[in-house]
Each structure stands twice: as structure tokens, then as C-alpha cells.
Amino acid sequence: MSEDSSGYRPIKRIRQACQNCRRKKARCTGEKPECALCSRCGQSCRYLDDDSTIVSPPAISPGPVKKHHHPKKFRDDEKMNGFSARLATLESQMAEMVRSVRSIERSLNGPRINQKPDSTDQITQNDAGPKIGIEADVTVPSAVLNNQLPPPYIVRTAADLYFRYCHNQPYSLFHEGSLRNKIELNELPKHLLLALVASTVRYSSDLFFSDKNAAVSAYAHQSWKAIVMPWNGIQSDAELSIVQTILLLAIIDYTDGRTQASWIKVGLAIRLAQDFRMMVEPDQNLSPIQQDERRRVFWSFYLCDKLISCGQERPAAILDEHCKLALPGGESEWRAGQYQHAPTLEQLLEDDSGTALNTLSPFAVSVVMASLLGRCAQYALGEQEDQAPGGRVLPWNPRSKHSSIHSAILQHESELGLNEPLSTKVARICLADDGSIDQHKAAPLTFSRALFYLCQCLLYNPFLLKRRLAHVGQRTPQSFLAQNFVACRTAASSLSRLMDDVKSLCCSTLTTSYDPFYGYCNMVAGVVHALFLEDTEAAVREMAGASLEVSLENLKELSCFWNSCAMMKTRLEEFCANRSRYAALVDPTAQELGLTPSDANDLAECLDYARISTPRCKTQQPSRTAAPADPGALSHLPSPYFEELMNLLPFTSSRPVSPPRFDGLFVTESSAFDGRMNSQNPSNSNFY
């Protein structure tokens, strides 16, 4: 019997998927106004009206025959109508529950930063930059949470903030004129635009970002999801933007305590940069601005790779001998679009090189110092052995790696003028035409000086030095230890005072507060000061105490912008409270290390950039009575969250993988069948 003659039409399943997902037979997340798949693919997401999703049975015309012959169909029809109504009610309630749960989750995972710091927390440098917190009752804009792009004025402001607070501190990723032109012409890729905004939210005082933590997380998450990875090839004009975006997002991850995710992202971006042949000279057909921008992006990754490799079992991914690219030219020449010849890193590192280091641009100098830091960190923190053609050599042997790095430090100090006062150096080479300080030139110069002091703090560190000497099997000359200890104290004091030296320049936009790596510098210096609080000489203890207070104050100031620096400050305070355990380390006459495995591990972690930037689990809290760690036990470092792990999968090149959702709880038999067919037939999958 036909449907027209019976007056009965079956109820079709509720259409919860958008039209694009239904056409492609892909599972739709059901988000409105735009689902996840349409957001990634840049498609227009359209849903059918709710009224048209259910085909209700038509009105039954009265008739004795129909009433008599189909009473069961009417009852079934009424039951289905009632079931559909109840199902719609449940879906509405579940949707409201999902919104409530997400609101609670945002309030827990992204605490609002709207408390004003007390007077001791304020940055005392003539209001150098906006404060991290603002008083406002509004929440994160709904546009952030609905996958919408920020307003144009926010993007322009983000560019202003980036070149005021981030450029050359220490990374150089964008040519200012080119970036602003792309923003005005709407040519900036979505992922890079979102990453730029996420990187500058912390410096903004706009009420649009009332909840800064949530805004940073939301924009960074959207940016990462918007990247289309080049698994099957990519156009050349998109190469640079992808690696620029990944570096910006990796910095956000690292400074927020997600060091593992950042480590993986940096490694991925380095491989992409190598695949794009960014480690060799760019195409000569490009303009001088484009050529030097590619150079600076690669050397920025080189810098980042060396910085995050300051720790145990953290080998650098970029080797110096693989860098065939010229060092970046001067800042003024780059702005004007002029070409400036510069040597390669390999040419500078040759023993017979006639190239003077003092002819390099400030950013190129920071690259050279990062190369020296990489050597020093791998030797001191990575516990490289002193090997020579004749076998193992002692650290005080002229052929040892210790002596080689020590000689390189002295050479850099002489040729780069690092013994010259910072104010004199800045006044000589970093002044603009109007007599003001050019912060984009002075910032790399300051950073190079910090790396110079940091190298000495690591190479001459009493703990790292004695730990190495404990395996030598030969008595160490006391003069060797005494000279290294004095050099370590001097460098640590200079490193702690560096932030005050920068403030004395009276440049409102030149400050070390905008670079989170200064937190690690102050942490390493603070550990040295805490060790020498146990020295036998009163003058040494007094100087160490004063310098330690400076380091703690610097970390407190940096904590206004960087969560990782707040973790470092807490770790340094804990170490200072237990410093008496390490008194023997600063005694040149004591040959033994004299530490328990637990104490040695705690001190080693205080010098590991990744570990002190990672939140500590409760099981990691220091305890004298704690049992020794099981070598076969799992690492205490937090594993990536489920969503972070999914984020490291091939982005938009495959079907999206999402965490469980409440609104996907009700799946009809038909949609489940579609999903099974999709999984059984890979040809139905769409790759973008």
C-alpha cells in the first residue's frame, strides 16, 4: 500500500550534521555557527532548519475505512511523535549542560588575570609596557570561543605590540613593513594572524582581552588547528608563514609549562625549515628584504634550539656545520631593503678566520653567542666526556673541551667588547638618528651579554665541575677549582645585575622583562649565589646574599608576564631553604661531591631549563625522607594531555580527531552506519 493511500509517512532521522559533512559522509561535531571540519577547511557551514529536520506525518483525513483498518499505525505514529519530542528536549538539555561544563572548565583551566600586582610586583621602569592584569568584569569575547577572527583593529594593535615588545627579544621573525602591508591587504594566513595575536595578548591593555589566559589559549589552539601541513607538498609562498607560526606557538607552550609539546613543535618546525632549504642561501631572485627575512627566521630557530637544549638529554637539532647560511645583516639595512654582506657561522668558527666578530650586526652576535652556549650546555649539562685523539684528558689539560670552551669565552670577550660597560656599548652603536636608543639593536646586544655570563655560570659551576671531576680518578689541583669558583661568582653577579643595567639606560621599551629566557639566566645565577652563601669567607657570603636578592626580585618581575618564571622563583626559594646540604661544593679543598643521589638530582634539575619550566607533580616535592626513585619508574614530568597529543597528529591533512563530546552522545542508526561505511572505505576520506 502506498504512502499516499495510507496517509502514513515514516519519520526520518534528525539531521544534526551540517550539509558539507553530510555530503562528504564525515562525522560532524555539530557546533554552531560553524563546525570543526568547516572551520578547518574554510568552508561555509550551513545547517538545515530545525523545522525541516523532522518530517511529520500529514493530517489524517477522517474516514471510516482508515479509522477502522489502521488503528495500530496511528498509535505507532503517536508514539514516534512523543519519542521525537522527548529526544529534542533531551538534546536541548544536554546542549545546555555542555555549555555549562565548558564555562566551568574555562574558569578552572584559564584563571582570570585581573588582580593588580602589589607595589612590589610593579615594573619600576617608567611603566615599561602594559601591566599583565586589568580590572574588568567582562569575559573573553565569544568570538574567540566561536572560532572567529579577531577584529581588524585588534590585529593592527597586535602588530604594534609585537614590534614594541617582541621583535629581536630574542627572535627576529618579521620585516615590519612587509608584515603591516600584509595585514592591511588581508594577505596574512589565518594561522599566522592568530598566532601573532596570541603572542601579544599578554602585553595588551584592551578590554577585548579581559581574560588573557583564556584568550591566549583559545587563539593559540585555533592557530595550531588552522595550519595545513605540507605532507603532499606546499606552495613556496606559504613555507615561511608555517615555520613562523610554529615558533610563536612553541614559545607560548614553553613559557606556560608545556615544555614537551613545545619541544616537539620546535623539532617539527626545524625539519620543515630544513626541507624548505632554509639553512642555505635563499633564491637570489628574491628581494633583499625577503632574503634576510628567511635568514632571520632560520637563525631564530637556531637560537630557540640552543636555548631549549640547556638541560640533560636535550641534544640540539641543528648542528653548526650544517648551517651554510650567511648570518643576518644589520637592522637599519634590513629596514631600508639594502643588502649587507655577512659571513657564515662556519667561517667565523674556523681557527684561521680573518673575519672580526666586532663587524657583525647585534642579532648576528646573539647567534654567535648562542653557538657558544650550545657547546657549553652540552658539555656541562649533558656531561660530555673530555676526549682527545689520545683518549680521555683531564679538564685542566689544554687539549680538553673545558679548556677549549674557556678559550672561546675569552676570545669572544675580547673581540665583542663584552668587558665594556653596557651603557657605553649601547651609546656607541645603538642610537637612532634622533639620539634615542634603538631597542631593536640594543635588545640583541643585551641578550648576547646575558648568554656570555650564562656560559661562564655553567662551565665554572661548582656542582657541575665537581660532578665531572668525581669520575676522573685523580686528585684535582685546588688552584683549578679556586679560579673556576671565582670566575663563576663574578659572572653570576654580573648576570643578576644585567636587568638593573638595562633599566639604567632609561629606555621605556628596552627591558629584559619581555624575554622569558632571562628567567633561566636569573635562576642559574641565583643557584650560584645560594651555593656561595655557605662560603667560609664573610665577604663572599655578603655579596652572594645581596646578589641572590636581586635574582629573586628579577624573577618576581618576570613572573608578571611569564608563568615559567613564577615556577623558577618558587624552585629557587626551595633550593635556598635547603642550601646547607651543598656547603661542601664551594670548598676547593673538598675533593668528594658529598651529595646524596636525591640532593644531586634536585640541584641538577635547578639548572635544567625544561624541568624548571614544567609544573611539578605532588610526588616531586622535595623531601629528605623520600625513598630513592626507581630507575624503571615512569618520568614524573607530566605527559601531554589527550588533546595536545591529538594536536600533534597530521592537522587538517586527515579527518579531525576530537575529544569526547556530550552533543555527540545521540547517534542514530543511520549516522552510525555512515560512520562504519566511512571507516571501512578509506576512499571516502577527504584530505585537504
Query: Measuring CA to CA, which residue among 529, 447, 451, 449 is closest to residue 488?
Result: 529
- Is residue 403 within 8 Å of 335, Cβ to Cβ? no
CA–CA distance, 619 with 218 (Å, rounded to integer): 30
Q: Give the CB-side neighbour count of residue 83, counting CA atoms within 13 A.
A: 10
For 620, which DSSP code?
A: G
In a domain, 349, yes or no: no
CA–CA distance, 498 with 598 (Å, rounded to integer): 33
Return phi, psi of residue 211, to 5°: -105, 90
Helix ranges (DSSP H) in 238-341:
239-255, 259-275, 288-308, 331-336
Is the pLDDT at 612 greater than 70, yes or no?
A: yes
Is the pLDDT at 208 greater than 80, yes or no?
A: yes
Is the pLDDT at 24 greater than 90, yes or no?
A: no
Q: Give the CB-side neighbour count of residue 456, counting CA atoms within 13 A.
A: 25
% of the chain residues with pLDDT over 90: 39
* Whether the bond into 395 is cis, omega within 30 of 0: no
Q: How far, in whole angstroms, is CA 499 from its chain's centroid? A: 23
Is the pLDDT at 121 greater than 50, yes or no?
A: no
- Is residue 383 within 8 Å of 468, Cβ to Cβ? yes
Over residues 410-459, the pLDDT tens digits come to 999 988 888 888 888 888 888 888 888 888 999 999 999 999 999 999 99
Mean local confidence (pLDDT), 162-182? 94
C-alpha cell belonging to residue 103: 564555562
Is the model more confident about 143 or about 214? 214
CA–CA distance, 138 with 209 (Å, rounded to integer): 9
Is the pLDDT at 684 greater than 80, yes or no?
A: no
In a domain, 63, yes or no: yes
Mean local confidence (pLDDT), 513-536? 93
pLDDT at residue 205, as a whole number: 87
- Is residue 519 within 8 Å of 555, Cβ to Cβ? yes
Mean local confidence (pLDDT), 497-504? 88
Query: Measuring CA to CA, which residue among 236, 303, 306 is closest to residue 272?
Result: 236
**Averaged confidence pLDDT in the chain:** 77
C-alpha cell belonging to residue 141: 569575547
In a domain, 309, yes or no: no
Is the pLDDT at 76 greater than 80, yes or no?
A: no
- The pTM for the full model equals 0.71
In a domain, 266, yes or no: no
In a domain, 542, yes or no: no
Query: Which residue type, as a one-letter code, is found at position 336?
Result: A
CA–CA distance, 652 with 16 (Å, rounded to integer): 22
pLDDT at residue 206, as a whole number: 87
CA–CA distance, 43 with 25 (Å, rounded to integer): 15
Is the pLDDT at 602 greater than 80, yes or no?
A: yes
In a domain, 9, yes or no: yes
- Is residue 215 within 8 Å of 145, Cβ to Cβ? no
pLDDT at residue 628, as a whole number: 40
In a domain, 140, yes or no: no
For 621, which DSSP code?
A: S
Least confident of 362-376, 412-426, 634-648, 662-676: 662-676
pLDDT at residue 513, as a whole number: 77
Query: Which residue type, as a one-letter code, is found at position 457?
Result: C
Return phi, psi of residue 503, to 5°: -65, -30
Is the pLDDT at 674 greater than 60, yes or no?
A: no
For 674, which DSSP code?
A: H
Domain count, the chain: 1
**Residue 44 lies in domain:** 3-109+658-684
DSSP letters of 471-506? TT-SPPPHHHHHHHHHHHHHHHHHHHHHHHHHHTT-
